[in-house]
Amino acid sequence: MIENISQLPPWIFSLIGLAYGLIVGSFANVCISRLPKKESVVFPASHCPHCNKPIHATDNIPLISYILLKGKCRNCKRKISLIYPVIELITGLLMAAVFYRFGFSWECLIFAIVVPALVIITMIDIEHQIIPDAITLPGIIFGLAAGSYLNGWLDSVIGLVLGGGMFWLLAEGYLRMRGKMGMGGGDIKYIAAAGALMGWVQVLFIIFIGALAGGIFGGIGMGVKKLNFLSRIPFGPFLALATLISIFFGDPIVNWYLNLVTRQPL
């Protein structure tokens, strides 16, 4: 059975990833709306945000139900936000990419857990400006275990301490100078988890890309909308995006850069 799966052509394997991602994306929607309220993500079953009527299993098929019901609740006929199917589709496509990139492997299993968490973190941070402990704390444990498998335990521990330590120092420095929190504790725990998972080289890459993306977005925001230096832009989405880039392209980009600077491959 396992040999059969590992011998599947990559495109069939990524279709399995797509199906898995659509289902997980549906669960991600539940997490996005319930985790900030500290509600259980298991009970009760999904219900309509307007009339609270439980959604029947046959009306809860990712993407397909939304299209068949034309984006309306079967009971009260009110419109269901387009964000739900969009989250399902994004998670589905990302999982198709993960399955394609990593094939039938432990890496695939690890990132099949991590990538949906990145989607959830992004959406919750945009809506509520927090990254819940319910994700980051298990994330640190998972990061240490998975990171030890991927890069060795030492690299994992250094990644955790380096990432978490840098953000903690930044937050402390900002607090001392300005007398208020600039970076949330959620960001610190997040980067500690990301460092444990990806190792010390990639956590520096993630911080660099996250700061770059956040800076570009903030710059555009100041030009287009009336954001200013004091506007609170959630950093989580940029860190999540940078982590995603690190997962798919981190090693080749870092090697290319080191080659450019030192003419020595890592």
Binding interface with Zn ion (CB under 5 A): 48, 50-51, 73, 75-76
Q: Which residues pair with 47 in a beta bridge?
A: 54
Contact 198, 140 (CB under 8 A): no
The residue (of 53 and 175) whose beta carbon lies closer to Zn ion is 53
Closer to Zn ion by CB, 71 or 185: give it.
71
Q: Cα 143 to chain center, whole Å?
A: 13
* 143 burial via Cβ count (<10 Å: 0-12, 13-18, 19+): buried
Q: Which is nearer to Zn ion, 57 or 76 (CB)?
A: 76
CB nearer to Zn ion: give 55 or 108: 55
Minimum distance between the CB of residue 50 and Zn ion, rounded to whole angstroms?
Answer: 4
43 by DSSP, 3-state: which? coil
How far apart, in whole angstroms, are the C-alpha atoms of residue 159 and residue 157? 5
188 closest CA partner among 156, 161, 157, 218? 161
Nearest residue to 142 via CA among 117, 125, 162:
117
Phi, psi dihedrals of residue 42, rounded to the nearest 5°: -105, -45
Angle at 153 between CA 147 and CA 154, to 5 degrees: 120
Nearer to Zn ion, 73 or 123 (CB): 73
Min dist. Cβ of residue 58 to Zn ion (A): 16
Residue 188 contacts residue 164 (beta carbons within 8 Å): yes
User: Which lies closer to Zn ion via its Cβ, residue 51 or residue 175?
Assistant: 51
Is the bond into 9 cis (omega within 30 degrees of 0)? no
Work out how close the CB of 69 gets to Zn ion at its nearest, in angstroms, rounded to a whole number.
Answer: 10
| Nearest-approach distance from CB 54 to Zn ion, in angstroms | 10
Q: How far is the CB of 212 from Zn ion (least distance, A)?
A: 43
At closest approach, how far in Å is the CB of 72 from Zn ion? 8
